[in-house]
A and B are shown apart, each in its own frame.
Chain A
Amino acid sequence: MKISYAWLKEFVNLNLPPEELAGCLNQIGLMVESVTAAGEDTVFEIETYANRPDTLGHLGVAREIATLLDLSLKTRNWPLKELPQSTSSLVDINILDPQLCPRYCGLVVKGVRVGPSPDWLKKRLEAVGLRPINNVVDVSNYVCFSLGQPIHTFDLAKLKGSKIKIRKARKGETIRTLEGQRVELEPDMLVIADETTPVAIAGVIGGEESGITESTTDVFIESANFNPVSIRLTAKKLGLSTDASYRFERGADPNAAPVAAVMAASLLCEFGGRVSRGLLDVYPAPRKPRSITLRLRRINELLGLEIEPEFVVKTLTGLGLKLKEQGPQVWTAEIPSFRVDLEREADLVEEVARFYGYDRIPSAVTPVKSFELPADRRRDRVWRLKEVLFHHGFDEVINFSFTDPEKEQSWQTGCQPIRLQNPISAKLSALRTSLLPGLVENAVWNFNREAEGVHIFEVGNIYYWEQEETHRENLNLGILTTGLRSGRTWKENEKETDFYVLKGAVEDICYYLGYDQLSFEPVEHPFFEPGQALRIQVKNEPVGLLGLLNSNLARSYDLERPVYCAEIDLNELLRKQPRAFSFQPVPRYPGTSRDLSFLVEDSLNYQQIQQQLQKLNIPYLENFQIYDRFQGKSLPPGMVSFSVRFYFRHSARTLQTEEVDRAMQEITSQLKSTLKIRLR
């Protein structure tokens, strides 16, 4: 909202330099966004709030400044040159829906010479960014930006009959607006109608047909009050936002309506107009002023200071409230009708604080009376998991939760996507059902910008319809690795990433978070190349997938290098109970190790072998580790060679060679029967 310094001076005597005035406006929350010199005038662009329609006119801003500076507002008189006829003999106002139109005032001004406005008026309007049109339209804008009360002017000659009806539109009715647009009206929209048709959309915009033109001589001034919600719904539906609707939807002051009508009429007298006798003022259910009890104690309690009661009285009186002392330091405050925002005691506390100055309120430490233990360690675990991935050289990314549903379809995530009702664009019109498409896009982006390898992860929600009407958001972890790994030095070349880089990261996450019973099962899934994916399981329950990205998908993103990726359901994983930590004594006696290389049928995979090795019941066997896998022509067909190192230890003494030899014989014989191994 633009505020002209010269215009403010019409309401209050001010002589501060503009910068000082800007400081005053900031102090009371009318935040100045810019100060511009405009000839002799200065224009302030101020931030106004949805609950303060009174500041949408210069009078309201003047009232605030006057209160702050302890000045009084000027009283202005609006003399009228009157016609012999009474207003009621010329027009007949009928409010058919007093809910939507609580008050309607009207005056007729005859014999107006429509033409360009005088310079003073043009200057005022131009200062606040309005384009002067003609003196009648300019007067209505001047009144609106003075008082914050929108008014509308009709060419009386164009209204059929003398009846003005404020009613809801009828099905099928249309109107051509002042902007020249034909609008279909709907039955819940309030209109101003003459005997036959709507002539204005109430509180939003006037009709072209009844508008002021060069040939207008007789003007009907409408100054009314409309229901804010009704105006907002109508304006939204029509996609129109006008100076009038902007003010009405915030709640205009019903008591400004008669004042604005008289002010406009008086100004039209300057252009030859003569005003009908007696303001027509239809106000079927006059609003009673609101009263609020205000306690000084409460002000001090909420603000944390000791304020003088005199300051409270002076400030609130300046703002137009009527304070009556109810008891010691307790008042009943009668709220002026222009302050729609003042409804509770807390609202008055804010008024006192604003004018006292937030900067003068002391600062204090918020007292702590108790400490609370965190409800769970979930957030710590998510951070721990990120640390493991940082350690493995993965960078963290954050992608939009939005997705292009067309594009995501090719991923066949198997989740019903949640679409937005009013998306910004088609590309952002649904919520993602997987983190992997975003990670793949990140890989493409970076490959196109000099990257030779991309190793990234994201922790974030995916969203989908679980059933009809039941939505679900789920915390997932996505990991992707492709291309060269960093770590090239003069001593060694960088290496191409591979499946086991990814798998190692997943295993380490589970290891360092204490999820012990980790296993993998081969799985077929549309994300991955056939036969090249595993289901990740903890305690035999699925928690995610990992594998080589399906080559058709990779090709659709123009990715040439193999892409390995994983997606883990963190809700599922973090719900599992991690192994409880327990300290193990440090061994006091040396251990020993033996290697065993053996052949098995190549239909066996390592995990199956591992499961058998874990089942071995051998004294002093502490651990084992695979260190080679080999398949080749030198081996009998259909066989694969594994080499495993076994570690032995006795907790209370050094092991004898013969004991270890016996253990190895036992291992060999057990594996011969369970895995049908052949020694190499």
Chain B
Amino acid sequence: MSSLLEKIDHYRRLFADQVARVKEAREVEELRQAFLGRKKGHLTLLFEEFKTLGPEEKKSAGRQLNELKSEIQNRLGELEQKLQAPARVKQLEDLTLPGRQLYWGAPHPITLFQREIERIFISMGFSVEEGPEIETDYYNFEALNFPPHHPARDAWDTLYINDKLLLRTHTSPVQIRVMEKKKPPIRIIIPGKVFRRETPDPTHLPMFYQVEGLVVDRGITFAHLKGTLEYFIKALFGEKIKLRFRPSFFPFTEPSAEVDIECIVCGGQDAACRVCGGSGWKEILGAGMVDPQVFKNVNIDPEVYSGWAFGLGIDRTAMFAFQIPEIRHFYENDLRFLRQFNRR
């Protein structure tokens, strides 16, 4: 008969061997019976034997025996939990019920579209500038080379506050304010609210948003204007969009251009197209090389520096891009309209 210590060691190995093969909860119980069973469990028998030992032997065997017992109990407990865990979790009855969705507020579509435009230009190293909405005649017109009483002003129908102050009709006064403060190189875009004396109709409102761009440096050419705007429009409308530049007139640029993009609604295929009138083209922005008089007005030498500028109506472009039929939707703030832009 081997000593109790040897038996403890034997059953320890036996347990390790058998426990490794357990796959089901039933086997855990069997193992528990085999080792800890009240009458014939291996350990129960060992504890019986233990009682017969002398005090010296009891000292070391007792500790080992107890250790083995708690080892087996813990191991079996763990195993039981692991094997039985699924049975204890509450079962959900219908997993097809909808989940808990969280409502996020919707950004206004103008904000959204303005940010898309800003992102494109910021990626080209532009910074964003802002300026006042209440302006003087000087910044809104004169410095931009609109002579007093010139019919060119008719296209910028103005809301006046008094003889000195008006609501800016475009974001271009910020060009002047920036050039007055800063020497070239200048590379900025200017988003903001502008105002015109327009009676509301489907495509006109007395308030809308514009974004303006300005680059001033040595050696800036019309080719740079074309290249940058082509990239911008493709970034906004997709690689495949066609565009064309044609001559136009703005007092603050010379040469001046207007940029048309291909009508994404009809692709030029619908003679009665509501968006392009059948021409296949949609006017999207005005641009040009900064007029030398504008440079003189801000003490930049047009013989040394040149620059380009563009301006684009955010509302109109967003209307075109999202195919929104009427501009008034932007300022009615109907939640059924606004919330759609959460998904843009």
| A353–B255 touching, CB < 8 Å | yes
B142 at the interface (CB under 8 A from A): no
Query: Knowing A31-B258, A363-B230 touch, does A354 contact B247 (C-beta < 8 A)?
Result: yes
In the assembled complex, the CB of A148 is this many whole angstroms from the nearest CB of chain B, namely 14
From B160, B193, B206, B333, A397 is in contact (CB under 8 Å) with B333
A643 at the interface (CB under 8 A from B): no
| B105–A394 touching, CB < 8 Å | yes
A364 at the interface (CB under 8 A from B): yes
| A449–B334 touching, CB < 8 Å | yes
B86 at the interface (CB under 8 A from A): no
Interface string of A221-234 (1 = CB under 8 A from B): 00000001100110
| A420–B306 touching, CB < 8 Å | no
From A50, A371, A461, A489, B249 is in contact (CB under 8 Å) with A50
Q: Which residue of A lies closest to B205 (CB)?
A: A400
B195 at the interface (CB under 8 A from A): yes
Please give, as numbers and ranges, the residues of chain B lying within 8 Å of A536 by CB-CB distance.
none
In the assembled complex, the CB of A470 is this many whole angstroms from the nearest CB of chain B, namely 11
The segment from A91-99, A298-306, A627-635, A648-656 that touches chain B is A298-306
In the assembled complex, the CB of B271 is this many whole angstroms from the nearest CB of chain A, namely 11
In the assembled complex, the CB of B225 is this many whole angstroms from the nearest CB of chain A, namely 8
| B221–A51 touching, CB < 8 Å | no
A114-129 CB contacts (< 8 Å) to partner B = none
The segment from A277-285, A422-430, A662-670 that touches chain B is A422-430
How far, in whole Å, are A7 and B339 apart by their CA atoms in the complex? 55
| B103–A487 touching, CB < 8 Å | yes
Please give, as numbers and ranges, the residues of chain A lying within 8 Å of B125 by CB-CB distance.
368, 371
How far, in whole Å, are A362 and B225 apart by their CA atoms in the complex? 10
Q: Which residue of B lies closest to A344 (CB)?
A: B292
How far, in whole Å, are A398 and B187 apart by their CA atoms in the complex? 28
A84 at the interface (CB under 8 A from B): no
In the assembled complex, the CB of A569 is this many whole angstroms from the nearest CB of chain B, namely 17
How far, in whole Å, are A34 and B335 apart by their CA atoms in the complex? 38
How far, in whole Å, are A47 and B254 apart by their CA atoms in the complex? 18
Interface string of B217-238 (1 = CB under 8 A from A): 1011111111110110000000
How far, in whole Å, are A318 and B149 apart by their CA atoms in the complex? 31
Supply 15 A–B pairs (Cβ within 8 Å), ascending by A: A33-B277, A50-B154, A353-B222, A353-B255, A364-B226, A366-B225, A368-B125, A395-B339, A396-B105, A400-B206, A401-B133, A423-B159, A424-B199, A457-B105, A473-B133
The segment from A183-191, A262-270, A385-393, A516-524 that touches chain B is A385-393
How far, in whole Å, are A287 and B182 apart by their CA atoms in the complex? 40
In the assembled complex, the CB of B82 is this many whole angstroms from the nearest CB of chain A, namely 27
Q: Which residue of A lies closest to B108 (CB)?
A: A396
Please give, as numbers and ranges, the residues of chain A lying within 8 Å of B111 by CB-CB distance.
386, 396, 398
Query: Knowing A29-B248, A371-B125, A391-B105 touch, does A399 contact B331 (C-beta < 8 A)?
Result: yes
Q: Which chain A residues have a beta carbon within 8 Å of chain B's beta carbons?
A: 26-29, 31, 33-34, 49-52, 228-229, 232-233, 246, 249-250, 301-305, 344-347, 349-350, 353-354, 358-359, 361-372, 374-375, 379, 383, 386, 389-402, 418-424, 428, 442, 445-446, 449-451, 454-457, 460-461, 463, 471, 473, 486-487, 489-491
In the assembled complex, the CB of A570 is this many whole angstroms from the nearest CB of chain B, namely 13
| B150–A428 touching, CB < 8 Å | no
Interface size grouping (class) on chain B: 35 or more
The binding surface of chain B is classed by DSSP as mixed
Q: Which chain B residues have a beta carbon within 8 Å of chain A's beta carbons?
A: 97-98, 100-108, 110-111, 115, 124-125, 127-128, 130, 132-134, 148-152, 154-155, 159-162, 165, 167, 185, 187, 193, 195, 197-200, 206-207, 215, 217, 219-228, 230-231, 244-249, 251, 254-258, 277, 289, 291-293, 302, 306, 308, 330-336, 338-339
- Give 6 nearest A-B pairs by CB, closest first: A29-B247, A304-B223, A304-B221, A350-B255, A49-B249, A363-B227
| B246–A50 touching, CB < 8 Å | no
| A379–B193 touching, CB < 8 Å | no
How far, in whole Å, are A401 and B125 apart by their CA atoms in the complex? 32
How far, in whole Å, are A115 and B213 apart by their CA atoms in the complex? 58
Q: Which residue of A lies closest to B330 (CB)?
A: A398
| B222–A361 touching, CB < 8 Å | yes
Please give, as numbers and ranges, the residues of chain A lying within 8 Å of B207 by CB-CB distance.
400-402
Given contacts A350-B254, A392-B105, 15 further A-B pairs with CB under 8 A are A51-B249, A301-B306, A346-B302, A359-B244, A361-B222, A365-B227, A374-B127, A390-B104, A422-B197, A445-B333, A449-B335, A455-B105, A471-B161, A489-B101, A490-B98
How far, in whole Å, are A302 and B291 apart by their CA atoms in the complex? 11
| A398–B110 touching, CB < 8 Å | yes
Q: Which residue of B lies closest to A230 (CB)?
A: B149
Please give, as numbers and ranges, the residues of chain B lying within 8 Å of A389 by CB-CB distance.
105
How far, in whole Å, are A366 and B228 apart by their CA atoms in the complex? 6
| B223–A396 touching, CB < 8 Å | no
From A49, A423, A463, A489, B248 is in contact (CB under 8 Å) with A49
In the assembled complex, the CB of B46 is this many whole angstroms from the nearest CB of chain A, namely 39
From A34, A372, A423, B127 is in contact (CB under 8 Å) with A372
| B108–A398 touching, CB < 8 Å | yes
Please give, as numbers and ranges, the residues of chain A lying within 8 Å of B245 by CB-CB distance.
358-359, 361
| B333–A456 touching, CB < 8 Å | yes
Please give, as numbers and ranges, the residues of chain B lying within 8 Å of A398 by CB-CB distance.
108, 110-111, 330-331, 333
Query: Knowing A29-B247, A420-B160, A489-B98 touch, does A363 contact B226 (C-beta < 8 A)?
Result: yes
| A445–B332 touching, CB < 8 Å | yes
From B128, B230, B247, B254, A28 is in contact (CB under 8 Å) with B247
Q: Which residue of A lies closest to B158 (CB)?
A: A422
In the assembled complex, the CB of B189 is this many whole angstroms from the nearest CB of chain A, namely 12
Q: Which residue of B lies closest to A246 (CB)?
A: B151
Please give, as numbers and ranges, the residues of chain A lying within 8 Å of B197 by CB-CB distance.
422, 424
How far, in whole Å, are A400 and B315 apart by their CA atoms in the complex? 14
